[in-house]
Amino acid sequence: MIKKILVLGSLAVLGVGCKSPQPVAQESSKSEKKKSDLKKYSEVITSEAKTDEGLFTTHFVDDKLYFEIPVDLFEKDMLLVSRIAGVPSGFGGGYVNAGSKVNEQVVRWVKRNGNIDMKVISFENQSDEDSPIYKSVQANNFFPILFSSKIETWSEDSTSVVIDASALFEDEVEAINGISSGLRKRYKVKKLDKSRSYIESANAYPENIEIKHVMTYEAETPPERDQAGTISMLLNQSMILLPDDKMQPRLADYRVGWFTIDKYDYDSDELKADDYEIIRRWKLVPKDIEAYKRGELVEPVEPIVYYLDPATPEKWRPYFKQGIEDWNVAFEEAGFKNAIIAKDPPSKEEDPEFSPEDVRYSVVRYVASTTRNAVGPSVSDPRTGEIIESDIIWYHNHLRSYRNRFMIEAGAQNPNARTLNTPEAEIGEMMRMVIAHEVGHALGLPHNMKASSAYPTDSLRSAEFTQKYGLTPSIMDYARVNYVAQPGDEGVRYIRMMGPYDLYAINWGYRYLPEADSPQEEKATLDKWILEKAGDPVYEFGSGYGGADPQSQRESLGDDQVKASEYGIANLKKVVPNLVDWTSKDGFAYDELDEVYRELSYMWRGYLSHVVTNVGGVYETRKTSDQEGVVYEPVPAKIQKEAVEFLNDEAFSTPKWMLNQDILGRVEAPEAIDRIQSIQTGALEDLLEKDRLKRMITNEEVNPESAYSPVDMMADVRKGIFSELYNSRQTDAYRRNLQRSYVDIAAAYLKELDERENDEVLKSDIMALMRGEMEQLKADINRRKNRTNHQLTRFHWNDLLARIDSAILNEV
């Protein structure tokens, strides 16, 4: 096997050779001379220095931060991870939180005469050192210098150099900056205010250095107006030594979901650079390889260990630990026992050096924050994909999200959900599964939004089925609460759990293959495992991105989205009349009612969206060229037509069940009504979105006998939305609003022709489709507009005619 050599640093560094002793002796002489010109160590690192020893030693002297870097760490690969540790309220619209990663890059400290440079190193492009193309790859991937500082002094034994690192954290260095270019524009950031930017702390650990620093920016429109025109944020920079003993990478396969790292091999025999991906995973090696080969369960040499944050409330700790160790059943599928362990935080007596900042410890952090979220980030070696460390973050107010969702989606069926004080058993089980989901991310698994479509929708009403198989084959799906179950479905499971896909994916990514000496030698075995499961939807993967596959959607349940949404809305209709009773507390206002009612409307929007995706939808089944069948297949016309019928009934008709006067009399009624109108219009805009229409037009061209044509779809939607016109009835305010939206959406395609001369829509059949719809609707209104005695309805029809005429007259 030819060993691949990752491209090294600058040409200047590579040009330093060791072929004869003469140049080395001269360089040594020069270095000694320079050392004598420097200050003494005690003059730079004074007795007042605050020192912390670790990977390398940090010193605070007055306001300066010095790094004392051992010579043997020069040219060593280190991972520099930049995170936000503290942000002002509302920063990034609330979507940028403490713990958010800013950047992750490999750096090397390199000596250059009297300076120490920090270079950014890339391992994306590679070539064999003996390959003719090696020098070209090398020259075309020249590594930038992120930071440079002159040598202040040497240690007394000359084994390390001291540099002033203050500027790296006090100046504005774009590669570790906490404010993106988009947020700079949004908040009109002018510049960094160095007088209010400073280093807060520097801590050294055996394998990493942690620096916290405050950055203050002048801004015209900061997220909080009371900040006197500034944005201050706390950043955390982690510098982690990467292992010399590199893990063997595993090649990714898009049929099994994994977080990946891109690679390009310029020695490929293909007529191009061979681009491929490797998966991100922890390094698990059996203690007893021979026993492992015999099929026995074997402990790993180094298990994955998660510590709980000392701030974690005692009553939630058992659920967090269960959520972590739930993954052991999956690792047993891969041949390991006790592969992942959850531990309480050690006391000072047990481990005086314990710190969540220490890269040797992975921690489930419990954050006192109003953020309603949980995340499962990890830090990985870009050379091999090895996950080095992970901190799961649980934000306290995420409890609120699950309390509300449980009430909204299970309140009709489950008495335990009918309270703001969700019983501990239920909320604890939800927390357990959230932690398990986030640990799944930290193990390398992305969301698998396709998993839920593997189960028949009606099976989710079965106690026997759900207690055995859960709500979906993968905990990595978004399927939080069983909204399909109906009142009277006794004994069903309401909370998601780990499933067969999770066991399959962990085995595929983590099973140790001792006979394979390279990633390429593993591929035949990995492919075999995939083909053994091919055709079984339980083991399929879909990311949920792209929006075209109705079987791969977040929060969707079951294989029939129309039926599942019917069940879900039926439950919402039972919940709404009870919300006042379930959310009211004596002596308090109706804030909780307003919050839950608002979130219920968003659930309704989600159920509608699940159905819309079927129209013009395309099923994706990931395959490679050696497998039979196609990858993409249009949703059958019958299902698409049923989806439109559902939308006419549940999205485009006036939702009187949502207009509950007991609720609207206690919350902000106009806002609630506007929200309902917005959801209806949003569903219609989504249905008439250009990419969806283009897919339908293409499908009709390819499959004229079986396709649901866009003309038929538009006619079905028009007859549903304008049913009052075709049945000579008056319209209510909600329907008039929706009918205006229909005309405005269709007319917008025509009105903007003069601005879209080169647009793909202009050249597609969408323009003819919309023009035909406008002309048909105009003719129908003219024939029928006076068949009602309701004056406002007749005014409304005339208004629509004026809108249609305006759109047609403004065509180019």
Residues 707 and 685: their CA atoms lie apart, in Å, by 22
Cα torsion angle, 633, 639, 643, 644, sign: positive
Q: How far is CA 800 from the centre of its chain?
A: 43
Tokens 């007088």 map to which residue? 195
pLDDT value at 343 more than 90 = yes
pLDDT in tens, 131-163: 554 445 444 455 789 999 999 999 999 999 999
Q: How confident is the model at residue 97 (pLDDT cuts 50, 70, 90)?
A: low
Residues 535 and 627: their CA atoms lie apart, in Å, by 10
Residues 594, 667: contact at Cβ < 8 Å? Answer: yes
pLDDT value at 78 more than 50 = yes
DSSP 572-602: HHHHGGGHHHHH--TT--SHHHHHHHHHHHH
pLDDT value at 513 more than 90 = yes
Asked which of 354-358, 423-427, 439-443 is least confident by mean pLDDT, the reply is: 354-358
- Contacts of residue 281, Cβ cutoff 8 Å, sequence gap at least 6: 250, 258, 385, 386, 387, 443, 444, 509, 510
585 token code pair: 């507390």
678 token code pair: 């917005």
pLDDT in tens, 626-660: 999 999 999 999 999 999 999 999 999 999 999 99
Asked which of 1-15, 403-417, 754-768 is least confident by mean pLDDT, the reply is: 1-15
pLDDT in tens, 594-630: 999 999 999 999 999 999 999 999 999 999 999 999 9
pLDDT value at 408 more than 70 = yes
Express as a percent the part of the chain with pLDDT over 90. Answer: 70
Closest CA to 734 of 645, 653, 644: 653
pLDDT on residue 46: 94
Helix (H/G/I), strand (E/B), else coil: 805: helix
Residues 249 and 303: their CA atoms lie apart, in Å, by 18
pLDDT on residue 460: 98
pLDDT in tens, 358-371: 888 899 988 777 77
pLDDT on residue 10: 34
pLDDT in tens, 477-494: 999 999 999 999 999 999
Residue type, 66: Y
Q: Indicate the helix (H) or strand (E) that contains 403.
A: helix 398-410
pLDDT value at 737 more than 50 = yes
pLDDT value at 26 more than 50 = no
Residues 185 and 225: their CA atoms lie apart, in Å, by 16
DSSP H stretches of helix in 19-127: 21-37, 41-44
Cα torsion angle, 422, 423, 429, 431, sign: positive
Q: How confident is the model at residue 769 (pLDDT cuts 50, 70, 90)?
A: very high
Over its C-alpha atoms, the chain yields an Rg (Å, rounded) of: 31
Closest CA to 122 of 148, 143, 101: 143
pLDDT on residue 6: 36
- Pair type for strands 198-204 and 101-112: unpaired
Residues 605, 682: contact at Cβ < 8 Å? Answer: yes
HSE of 578 in the Cβ direction (CA atoms, 13 Å)? 18
pLDDT on residue 501: 98
Cα torsion angle, 541, 543, 548, 550, sign: positive
Closest CA to 379 of 357, 399, 396: 357
pLDDT (average), residues 296-317? 94
Task: Give the dihedral of Cα atoms 756, 757, 761, 765; nearest 10 deg.
Answer: 140
Closest CA to 329 of 480, 498, 530: 498
pLDDT in tens, 750-766: 876 555 554 666 678 89
pLDDT (average), residues 109-117? 93
Q: Indicate the helix (H) or strand (E) that contains 395.
A: strand 387-395
For residue 201, the tally of other CB atoms under 10 A from its CB is: 15
pLDDT in tens, 200-228: 999 999 999 999 999 998 888 888 655 56
Residues 745, 739: contact at Cβ < 8 Å? Answer: no
Ranked by mean pLDDT, the top range of 35-39, 133-137, 184-188 is 184-188
pLDDT (average), residues 674-679? 91
Q: How confident is the model at residue 33 (pLDDT cuts 50, 70, 90)?
A: very low
Percent helix, strand, coil in the chain, to 5, is 40, 20, 40
Q: What is the 3-state secondary structure (H, E, C) of 460-478?
A: HHCHHHHHHHCCCCCCCCC
For residue 425, the tally of other CB atoms under 10 A from its CB is: 10
**In the predicted model, what is the mean pLDDT of the chain?**
88
pLDDT value at 32 more than 90 = no
Q: How confident is the model at residue 384 (pLDDT cuts 50, 70, 90)?
A: very high
pLDDT in tens, 255-269: 999 999 988 764 445
Residues 788, 728: contact at Cβ < 8 Å? Answer: yes
Residues 172 and 13: their CA atoms lie apart, in Å, by 27
pLDDT value at 25 more than 50 = no
Residues 445 and 507: their CA atoms lie apart, in Å, by 12
pLDDT on residue 732: 92
Supply φ then ψ for residue 119, to 5 degrees: -105, 145
pLDDT on residue 394: 86
pLDDT on residue 778: 96
Residues 62, 161: contact at Cβ < 8 Å? Answer: no
How big is the chain, counted in residues? 812
Supply φ then ψ for residue 38, to 5 degrees: -85, 165
Q: How confident is the model at residue 17 (pLDDT cuts 50, 70, 90)?
A: very low
Residues 658 and 576: their CA atoms lie apart, in Å, by 7
More confident residue, 188 or 416: 416
pLDDT on residue 371: 74
Residues 752 and 346: their CA atoms lie apart, in Å, by 65
433 token code pair: 């599964």
